[in-house]
A and B are shown apart, each in its own frame.
Chain A
Amino acid sequence: MDEVLIRTLTPTVIGVLIRRGAGFAAAEDAVQDALVEAVRTWPDGPPRDPKGWLVSVAWRRFLDATRADTARRRRDQRADEEPAPGPVTNVDDTLWLYFLCAHPSLTSSSAVALTLRAVGGLTTRQIARAYLVPEATMAQRISRAKRTVAGVRFDRPGDVATVLRVLYLVFNEGYSGDVDLEAEAIRLTRQLATVVDHEEVMGLLALMLLHHARRPARTTADGALVPLAEQDRGLWDTRLIAEGIGILRAALARDRLGEYQAQAAITALHADAETTAETDWPQIVEWYDELARITGSAVVRLNRAVAVGEADGARAGLVALAELDPSLPRYSAVAAYLHERDGDPATAARLYAEAARQAPNLAERDHLMRQAARLNS
């Protein structure tokens, strides 16, 4: 049975229920029930029309839940008077649901959780395991999020940027538990791209595909980080790279540059090179200039210093670095790298050790400590 197909239908079915008069929270609960039912019964007898099946079952669940609540009798009657199910269009409903789940009134973690549940069709347990929190905590996070957006009505489209930010957060969470969040973020972004025509949606999708293509080479079998320069480029997924570059080209052709397109362009230039040495570093520096202009981000300028070091030599990279605030995250790591390239291994070793102490995760800390040890031994 195709669990992904079922999940793909989730936002559409929720949209149908809402349009027939169900509240967001009640619709979402009813659809979750229907999904569980589908997972249980479809292997024995898959329906010819999966969407119609899910709509019928979810609607029945919604009515049951509503009837059970006597305080809601009036709404129950109104629901019973609704016209019988007929053919439905789903495009606007799906898009509306993306906006709702990424609504600015939600915190980042709530928006992520609600998106994975309502748009992605994941169970609360799956989401809780992916984020390593108790299921009860995640259930509360989701129900609070639903209450927060319960009264939200859209009279015009929301801001695509808020939706993209949430999908980007999901993608960056990577992999833990039984759900591959990188793949899930790509799936949701693909789905979004089918309902909204926006160059930054294409930019983010291209960025995700290009990064996902490198996943087999990013870590060793035991989980250690492999830096870009040392990755086995034969392990990169050329099909995904080609698709990402194609989507990016189409986006750039519209001449409305945004931060995801610029990031994707940098990633595409890396993906395009046979080796680190053959990388088009001058062009990467230019893209970092664009990205810094769009975002004003100091972290972008830090990455730019690395690219300058490759394009114009380590000394030029150090000059670019000198303009930046040393308290930036990963500043020491960049400084260590450039000092080593500049022929100063003692300073590099000291800075690698300092960077290791400040590292935000174990994989990076171990990698940086190994660099320091390599230079000290």
Chain B
Amino acid sequence: MAKYLLLKHYRGAPAPVNDVPMDQWTPDEISAHVRYMEDFAERLRETGEYVESQALAAEGTFVRYDGEGRPPVTDGPFAETKDLIAGWMVIDVDTYERALELAGELSAAPGAGGEPIHEWLELRPFMGAPPTIPE
């Protein structure tokens, strides 16, 4: 029983195999993609493995403290080189292998031509509570 974060990137991840920008898909292809993501989340709810998912806006700003009495420094929107997170899903599964399986399934969401986009997702474990009995 461990929680994992599935991170979807706008930028910063390696290019997907079926690399056609979404604005060049047909409306039906976009609908199919969205439906796939919703069905995926719904299946995880039924298996009791769903925790949450959120999408993020494409625009963000870096902010930094700039000293007593000064307004914070901002930098952004993100420059081209910076990583950009599109959204996340949190799952709670029994094994790492199951987390890999689900990430693979999510990466197979259909894109242009109805073919899987094979996009790269980042899979990261949550830190847990310390066990009562150290194993």
Contact = CB atoms under 8 A, between A and B. Distances in A.
Chains A and B belong together in one complex: yes
Interface residues of B, number: 23
Interface string B86-99: 00000011100000
A292 interface: no
A107 interface: yes
A364 B133 contact: no
B42 to A, nearest CB: 11
B3 to A, nearest CB: 8
Interface stretch (A31-39, A48-56, A169-177): A169-177
A220 interface: no
B94 A108 contact: yes
Nearest to B135: A299
Interface stretch (B31-39, B46-54, B71-79, B116-124): B46-54
Nearest to A299: B135
Given A137-B45, A303-B134, 15 more contacts: A108-B1, A108-B94, A131-B1, A131-B92, A134-B50, A136-B45, A137-B48, A137-B49, A140-B46, A140-B48, A174-B129, A215-B132, A330-B134, A360-B128, A363-B130
Contacts of A362: 127
B21 interface: no
B131 A172 contact: yes
A174 B130 contact: yes
A144 B129 contact: no
A315 B49 CA distance: 46
A304 interface: no
Given A131-B1, A131-B92, A360-B127, A174 B132 contact: yes
Nearest to A113: B48
A40 B1 CA distance: 33
Top 5 closest pairs, chain A to chain B, by CB: A141-B48, A109-B1, A172-B131, A140-B48, A363-B130
Interface residues of A, number: 40
B64 to A, nearest CB: 23
A109 B92 CA distance: 9
Interface string A197-237: 00000000001000100010000000001000000000000
Contact of A110 (B45, B48, B133): B48
Given A109-B92, A211-B133, A134 B128 contact: no
Nearest to A210: B133
